[in-house]
Amino acid sequence: MEKTISIAVQKSGRLSEKSLDLIRSCGIDFYADSRVLKARATGFPLSFLFVRDDDIPQYVADGVADIGIVGRNEYDESGISLDVVRDLGFASCRLSIAVPHSFDYRGLQSLEGKRNATSYPNILSRILRENDVKADIVVVSGSVEITVDAGVADAIADLVSTGTTLKMNGLEEAECIYRSSALLIANPDLDDDCRLLLDRLLERIDAVMLARHKKYILFNLPAEKLDEAAAVIGGMKSPTVTPLMDKGWVSVQSAVDESRFWAVFERLKALGAEGILVMNIEKMTE
Ligand code: PRT
Ligand code: ZN
- Mean pLDDT within 186-214: 96
Q: Average pLDDT of 229-258?
A: 88
Question: Quick check: 283 pLDDT over 90?
Answer: no
Model pLDDT, residue 135: 98
Task: Give the mean pLDDT of the chain.
Answer: 95
CA of residue 121 to ligand 2 center, whole Å: 14
Q: Please, which pLDDT band fits residue 1 given cuts at 50, 70 and 90?
A: confident
| 136-168: pLDDT as tens digits | 999 999 999 999 999 999 999 999 999 999 999
Higher pLDDT, 283 or 123: 123
Mean pLDDT of the 12-33 span: 93
Please check the confidence at residue 5 and state whether its pLDDT lies above 70.
yes
Task: Return the ligand number nearest the Cα of 16.
Answer: 1
Q: Which atom of ligand 1 is nearest to the CA of 53?
A: 4
Q: Which of 16, 78, 93, 140 to mutate to test the pocket of ligand 1 (most atoms within 8 A of CB)?
A: 93
pLDDT band at 286 (very low <50, low <70, confident <90, very high): confident
b/e map of 93-103 (b: 16 or more CB within 10 Å)?
bbbbbbbbeeb
Residue 270 has pLDDT above 80, yes or no: yes
Could you report the per-residue pLDDT of 210-238, keeping only the tens digit for each? 998 899 999 999 999 999 999 999 755 67
160, 183, 162: which is closest to 18 by C-alpha?
183
Distance between CA atoms of 234 and 250, rounded to whole angstroms? Answer: 18
Q: Is 22 in the pocket of ligand 1 (CB under 6 A)?
A: no
Q: Comparing 119-123, 195-199, 239-243, 249-253, which segment has the lowest mean pLDDT?
A: 239-243
Query: Whole-angstrom Cα distance, residue 71 to residue 92?
Result: 8
DSSP state of 205: H
Give the pLDDT confidence of 123-136 residue by residue, as tens digits.
Answer: 999 999 999 999 99
76 C-alpha to ligand 1 centroid (Å): 15
> What pLDDT is recorded for position 285?
84
Q: How far is the first Cα of the chain from the last one, in angstroms, to the nearest whole number?
A: 35
User: Using CB atoms within 10 A of its CB, is residue 118 exposed (0-12), middle (13-18) or buried (19+)?
Assistant: buried
Residue 53's Cα: distance from chain center in Å? 15
Cβ proximity of 141 and 63 under 8 Å: no
